[in-house]
């Protein structure tokens, strides 16, 4: 708690120099903000923001303050807000909105603060121990649906405020995924049903959503086969046949362009055996338009319900079921 003598700076105010510096070229915009360059260009045309400068060759350059705005916008979209509500707001308004929407949800999370302290100190041993202890206290399901989802917001928020670097976020992701994979091995059933192939599309590096979905599906008796990230459609189709797959599960992060996600899903659906379901989850598809014969997950809790529905339908279609 602040003392009366402390300056009342906004919680999400950029650090000194955060919005000051050289303009960022479009080739680095995704690395700096988490937003794909296709998305940023689309906003420029639709909302008039951002307003890039141009270099001598006519390539887009984004002023530092606009880059800070884009970071905050990306964070707000992760809470469920739509671009039309936030794109174009000035930096101060975005800071205030992030403080209201995000910080209120996470500031009281003592466990989250412990994790962040270990991450900021680059103490991978303490970070891993904190997470494993929480997993043991909660069990796998609550750890995935409550703790991991909350921590993803906290860690992402810390990156947007400039408190950690991109590589710190990657360290967190790798440790969480390793812990989840180890826990999954204790509950997975290689003879379970349905058989779900899990991966991400090309150019989608984020895997924490896929591994989290794997945990929930395994707890509900499914047999999950992970291909890792960035699998081309042709490889998915071949793997479906070789591994006798019932469902293809795909994870799309917020950084993945919605247009590219829709294109990939339509292409895969047109080439894949109609008997094989396609399930898509993650922020990258949550706000995209519906696609015929593609099931979109609104949240990770929906996996249990969908698996039950698949089993009921499979039993109904089985000619040997009385």
Residue pLDDT, tens place only, 230-282: 999 999 999 999 999 999 999 998 778 888 898 999 999 999 999 999 999 98
Phi, psi of 231 (to 5 degrees): -100, 125
- d(CA 98, CA 52) in angstroms, rounded, equals 23
Q: Write down the mean pLDDT value for the chain.
A: 84
With beta carbons less than 8 A apart as the criterion, state whether 297 and 303 touch: yes
Cis peptide before 282 (omega within 30 of 0): no
Cα dihedral value 227, 228, 233, 237, nearest 10: 10
Residue 200 has pLDDT above 90, yes or no: yes
The residues near 18 (Cβ < 8 Å, ≥ 6 apart) are 64, 68, 162
The pLDDT, as a whole number, for residue 153 is: 78
Dmax (CA) for the chain in angstroms is 77
Residue 321 has pLDDT above 90, yes or no: no
The pLDDT, as a whole number, for residue 184 is: 96
Using CB atoms within 10 Å of the CB of residue 26, give its burial: 0 to 12 exposed, 13 to 18 middle, 19+ buried: middle
- The helix (run of H) or strand (run of E) holding residue 237 is helix 233-242
The pLDDT, as a whole number, for residue 319 is: 44
Phi, psi of 204 (to 5 degrees): -105, 105
- d(CA 127, CA 130) in angstroms, rounded, equals 5
The residues near 35 (Cβ < 8 Å, ≥ 6 apart) are 29, 70, 73, 74, 255
With beta carbons less than 8 A apart as the criterion, state whether 283 and 257 touch: no
The pLDDT, as a whole number, for residue 293 is: 86
- d(CA 3, CA 6) in angstroms, rounded, equals 6
pLDDT in tens, 140-173: 998 998 888 888 878 877 887 788 898 999 999 9
The pLDDT, as a whole number, for residue 136 is: 93
The pLDDT, as a whole number, for residue 300 is: 83
Residue 15 has pLDDT above 60, yes or no: no
- d(CA 153, CA 159) in angstroms, rounded, equals 10
- Which of 258 and 7 is assigned the larger pLDDT? 258
Percent of the chain with pLDDT over 70: 86
- d(CA 118, CA 258) in angstroms, rounded, equals 34
- d(CA 67, CA 71) in angstroms, rounded, equals 6
In this predicted structure, which of 57-71, 139-153, 185-199, 278-292 has the lowest mean pLDDT? Answer: 278-292
The β-bridge partners of 196 are: 224, 247
List the structure tokens of 22.
């050289």
- Which of 196 and 137 is assigned the larger pLDDT? 196
Question: Which one-letter DSSP state was computed for residue 322?
Answer: -
**How far does Cα 77 stand from its chain's mean position?**
11
In this predicted structure, which of 143-147, 180-184, 224-228, 317-321 has the lowest mean pLDDT? Answer: 317-321
With beta carbons less than 8 A apart as the criterion, state whether 229 and 256 touch: no
**Highest mean predicted confidence (pLDDT) among 69-83, 228-242, 300-314:** 228-242
The residues near 208 (Cβ < 8 Å, ≥ 6 apart) are 148, 152, 173, 176, 177
Q: What's the rounded mean pLDDT across residues 186-194?
A: 92
- Residue 18: how many other CB atoms lie within 10 Å: 16
Residue of 95, 18, 21, 12 lying closest to 62 (CA atoms) = 21
Q: What's the rounded mean pLDDT across residues 162-191?
A: 93
Side-chain half-sphere of 131: how many Cα atoms within 13 Å? 29
Confidence of residue 14 (pLDDT cuts 50, 70, 90): very low
- Which of 310 and 149 is assigned the larger pLDDT? 310
Residue 50 has pLDDT above 50, yes or no: yes
Specify the 3-state DSSP secondary structure of 4: coil
The residues near 155 (Cβ < 8 Å, ≥ 6 apart) are 115, 116, 119, 164, 168, 169, 172
Residue of 62, 6, 58, 53 lying closest to 35 (CA atoms) = 62
Q: What's the rounded mean pLDDT across residues 34-58?
A: 91
Confidence of residue 106 (pLDDT cuts 50, 70, 90): low
């Amino acid at each position: 708690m602040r003392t009366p003598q402390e300056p009342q700076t906004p919680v999400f105010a950029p650090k000194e120099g955060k919005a000051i510096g050289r303009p960022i070229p479009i080739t680095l915009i995704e690395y700096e903000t988490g937003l794909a360059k296709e998305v940023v260009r689309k906003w420029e045309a639709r909302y008039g923001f951002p307003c890039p400068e141009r270099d001598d060759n006519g390539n887009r350059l984004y002023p530092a303050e606009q880059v800070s705005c884009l970071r905050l916008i990306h964070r707000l979209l992760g809470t469920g807000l739509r671009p039309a509500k936030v794109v174009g707001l000035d930096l101060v308004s975005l800071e205030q909105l992030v403080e209201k929407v995000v910080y209120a949800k996470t500031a009281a999370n003592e466990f989250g603060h412990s994790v962040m302290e270990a991450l900021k100190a680059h103490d991978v041993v303490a970070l891993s121990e904190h997470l494993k202890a929480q997993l043991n206290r909660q069990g796998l399901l609550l750890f995935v649906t409550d703790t991991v989802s909350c921590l993803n917001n906290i860690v992402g928020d810390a990156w947007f405020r400039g408190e950690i670097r991109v590589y710190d976020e990657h360290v967190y992701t790798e440790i969480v995924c390793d812990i989840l994979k180890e826990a999954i091995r204790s509950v997975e059933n290689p003879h379970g049903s349905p058989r779900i192939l899990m991966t991400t599309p090309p150019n989608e590096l984020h895997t924490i959503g896929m591994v989290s979905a794997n945990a929930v599906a395994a707890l509900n008796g499914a047999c999950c086969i992970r291909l890792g990230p960035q699998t081309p459609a042709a490889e998915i189709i071949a793997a479906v046949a070789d591994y006798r797959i019932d469902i293809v599960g795909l994870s799309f992060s917020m950084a993945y362009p919605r247009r590219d996600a829709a294109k990939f899903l339509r292409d895969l659906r047109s080439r894949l055996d109609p008997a094989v379901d396609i399930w898509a989850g993650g922020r990258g598809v949550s706000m995209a338009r519906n696609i015929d014969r593609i099931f979109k997950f609104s949240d990770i809790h929906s996996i249990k319900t969908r698996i039950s529905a698949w089993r009921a339908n499979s039993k109904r279609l089985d000619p040997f079921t009385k």
